[in-house]
Structure 1
């Protein structure tokens, strides 16, 4: 081609025209200045008219001959490019067409690059404007072809996606079998269906997340890379990234939708009924794991392959692809974090907190570039906000305990609902002890100063928090115990609730958090309440049987003994009647209390009877034997009223 052009030019325009074309040939064929110089040297050796001096002469800026070769090249390239730009069928439907189109674009880019150094020449500048117009037309068509390839490639793989809503089967909706039909190795980690003639979506449980989705065939990925390479070289990298990201963004959004995750605003999340929100949180946890462990890494891999060699374009495209889906996931978690801090929400918020915490390495790995930094930072911010919400929930629990009113007393001095609620709540919370310790190490308790002067250097923030809640509960119960008019019943109430608290602490993680000293201290308190009960109730009955000096005088012994015996019988029966509805819920404590009462009362009663049993006037007034007294005591604390009187 160049030989014919040289011959024709020599005949037509003479030596100056020949020299201009020689310069152009050297620039076109030479990939750099050194190669161009070598070509010029070859021309010089071939013909004396191509001396280095003549070839190196600069043509004046207003010489129209300087752009003759450029005009000729542009005319030829413009014809080729226009032919493909105007084509009604997809260019990439035929590999020969796509190759020729890319070759023409490459030549146009090289021509523009070579002549840009002479852009100061008005005639060259005018040619370059035409070249830029051709280039834009080519880029617009490349953009269409790029979009078409992505859409057609996605449709080809549509049947191989194993997505589903995840609700009917309860499984993560992916199939991790390998695509055996992909001979080029592009689908080694792909998601495929089964069947010979068509793909059938299959949902399998995900036991691990070490799989990759190839949503486009390997050949399509190669074609996309070739287009991207030209668009980036022509300065249309952002346009290419935009087309790429818009297509892949739709794929991710559809993937999350098929996982059952709804697009909800923060306001919609906060207005949801708690039962509905619990279900949505379960779906969110599954979607977040699949997105961060499978979908996003697969998108990163695909993006790097399409934009191989252009890291900035790859990073920008990946950010645009994942931004919407990531924001959707994070906004949901944020809406939960800034919502109600009702204590019942603790456990689901802990689930979200733990999910984000466990996914932080994935956030760090997949969003490692500068464009994605804001997504990584936002994930950390919302994770910390969830920690604040958890601490806030414990503050609300404290307020709930403080505000629980001391209204009507619990019948029979039994277990108060607030005791049962708080202890079961704390036991359940301690199943996430490791997470709660991480949350409370933020230093929430340091500002509380809940025990002035007490050395807690060996305690964790969580253990201090739990001890504080326990102290609030104890104070609340003491206030409630004062409602009872009978001091003995007040002690029964504190015994019941104190024993329940100690038992719940001993057989759970609370025991190791609060420590053995705490358990011993509060066990001793229960014994103290037992002693208070004995003193305020049975000591009065037992005091009637006290043998004083009046019983030593024979003339007074019989009369005094009869009076004491009648008084004992009356007080004993009255005590039984009053306490017949009282209850000790813990069987072991109930038995301990009966033994304690009998151990103090029966010896005194037995001594009294032994001393006056021989006195006839006294014997007639003995209503209960020692065994009957013991039997009546053993009927106490069942709350059924059977111990109220003699059967």
Structure 2
């Protein structure tokens, strides 16, 4: 027995020589701290240089392997098979778990530990888990499988038992960690990290099925599939929580100058990132879309594959309702309409030439286009209708010329005061889209300049008929009015900087 143990340790001694080789092969992979590089071709290319290297075995002297096989054969034939696989699995398990911790840097955290650690620490651990899982399932476990098959050749039961015992602890640790992460809070910030975990485990299911296929290890395969379902459920619930976060954002502070609120920046950035995971999310929603049927718009008549798009549409509806509520915070209703114009224009810009457009219905896009026009019309009415009302004059001849001039002076004075105030205030307001800004100013000019020109002409004529000069009452010439209109919506750089800082802090 002791001699058998000695030879097992001899394998481990030889295996220590390959750690440096393995570390070099994986150096680039583990040095990359990015959260989104772990899928597809990048991962495959990293493993290609080592996929044909059975590293743990190629450096073991053939005589050591032959000796171990002969000793295992002798022990099993003399009724010591239990002692044989216990000694072997104990030695290899200890070595494998130590290697995982040393090489992969994955801490042995309990479920309670996962629930207590900070969000940044959890993200770091999840990145380690993703990489550790791929290395374990693609390199370390297959190596252990081949070792068992060679040492216990001809004794499949002992080989299967030994392999299961060797890999059990590491496998359970990896699965427990992912389950604990799935059971953590439903904060929307967790979605993309949990999606990375889901994709990793999903892509490793074939390895689980090929490695753990006998009666002793099938429970590990089943546990992996159960954990995958729990991750999928977490994804759906976290995605649904985004709607609650938007609805519950009840901030009472208006964005200065009608700029873009951090909530809309966060939401659209979030939805654009979701598009990177569209195939995975559609798969998850297809399998777990029934969780969404509690909502009015999602019933059994809706194809499950459209659940993701329908939920995206509902998120946009909730966002719109929230933005309308925020627009009412502004004391100046015209600025509230400018805020809504900018918000809807921002959404249209983010959905243009972007994959998010494929996930939103045409009705949603058309609604935001209509909202821009509607809020422009409301802005025009609330800001400029009163200004233009001062320029209207209907004299049917029943009023004396002196009273006409007096009334027109009063109207002109009111116009000058209100026009000056609007231009002063609105020069600091912000319009997101330059073309929209130009269209708004052009439309104001088209309506205001002819009315102002006609009014001034009538006023000058009426004053001159009384033998007086009108110039001292006219504050603005036509070019002056046009110049003041061109100065609208310059925006405030200070408020733009503040919004930008809040945005990046939020994201």
Same fold (TM over 0.5): yes
Whether the 8 Å contact between 2:289 and 2:304 is mirrored in structure 1 is no
CA distance, structure 2, for counterparts of residue 252 and residue 168 of structure 1:
17
Q: Greater CA radius of gyration, 1 or 2?
A: 1
Aligned to 2:40: none
CA distance, structure 1, for counterparts of residue 304 and residue 447 of structure 2:
43
1:638 partnered with 2:490: yes
CA distance, structure 1, for counterparts of residue 155 and residue 304 of structure 2:
54
Whether the 8 Å contact between 2:345 and 2:432 is mirrored in structure 1 is no
Aligned to 2:169: 324
1:232 partnered with 2:58: no
RMSD value over aligned CA atoms?
2.7
Aligned with 1:160: secondary structure? helix
Aligned to 1:148: 6
- Residue 632 of structure 1 deviates from its aligned partner by 0.8
Aligned to 2:504: none
Aligned equivalent of 1:213, options 46, 55, 63: 55
CA distance, structure 1, for counterparts of residue 25 and residue 322 of structure 2:
44
Q: Give unpaired runs (5+ residues) of structure 1.
A: 1-142, 174-203, 642-647
- Residue 491 of structure 1 deviates from its aligned partner by 0.8
Aligned to 1:619: 470
1:253 partnered with 2:77: no
Could you tell me the TM-score, scaled by structure 2's length? 0.85
Aligned equivalent of 2:415, options 568, 578, 594: 568
1:502 partnered with 2:348: yes
CA distance, structure 1, for counterparts of residue 279 and residue 195 of structure 2:
11
Aligned to 1:270: 115
Aligned to 1:243: 87
Higher relative contact order (CA 8 A, sep 6+): 2
- Residue 520 of structure 1 deviates from its aligned partner by 2.0
Q: Give unpaired runs (5+ residues) of structure 2.
A: 32-44, 494-507
Aligned to 2:18: 160
1:527 partnered with 2:373: yes
- Residue 454 of structure 1 deviates from its aligned partner by 12
Whether the 8 Å contact between 1:406 and 1:479 is mirrored in structure 2 is no
Aligned to 1:200: none
Q: Mapping of 1:357-376 within 5 angstroms? A: 357-376=202-221
Deviations 1:382-425 (A, max 9, x none): 11111122222223322211211141222222221211111112
Change in CA separation of 1:452 and 1:299 when aligned onto 2, cut-off 3 Å: closer
CA distance, structure 2, for counterparts of residue 602 and residue 526 of structure 1:
24
- Residue 355 of structure 1 deviates from its aligned partner by 0.8
Moved over 6 A (4+): 164-168, 452-455
Moved more, 227-236 or 305-314: 227-236
Aligned length: 469
CA distance, structure 1, for counterparts of residue 386 and residue 232 of structure 2:
55
Aligned with 2:277: secondary structure? helix
Change in CA separation of 1:396 and 1:150 when aligned onto 2, cut-off 3 Å: same
Could you tell me the TM-score, scaled by structure 1's length? 0.68
CA distance, structure 2, for counterparts of residue 565 and residue 456 of structure 1:
61
CA distance, structure 2, for counterparts of residue 205 and residue 582 of structure 1:
52
Whether the 8 Å contact between 2:18 and 2:56 is mirrored in structure 1 is no
Whether the 8 Å contact between 1:229 and 1:307 is mirrored in structure 2 is yes
1:337 partnered with 2:182: yes
CA distance, structure 1, for counterparts of residue 299 and residue 118 of structure 2:
45
Change in CA separation of 1:459 and 1:503 when aligned onto 2, cut-off 3 Å: farther
Change in CA separation of 1:153 and 1:574 when aligned onto 2, cut-off 3 Å: closer
Aligned to 1:628: 480
Aligned with 1:471: secondary structure? helix
Whether the 8 Å contact between 1:166 and 1:259 is mirrored in structure 2 is no
Change in CA separation of 1:153 and 1:165 when aligned onto 2, cut-off 3 Å: closer
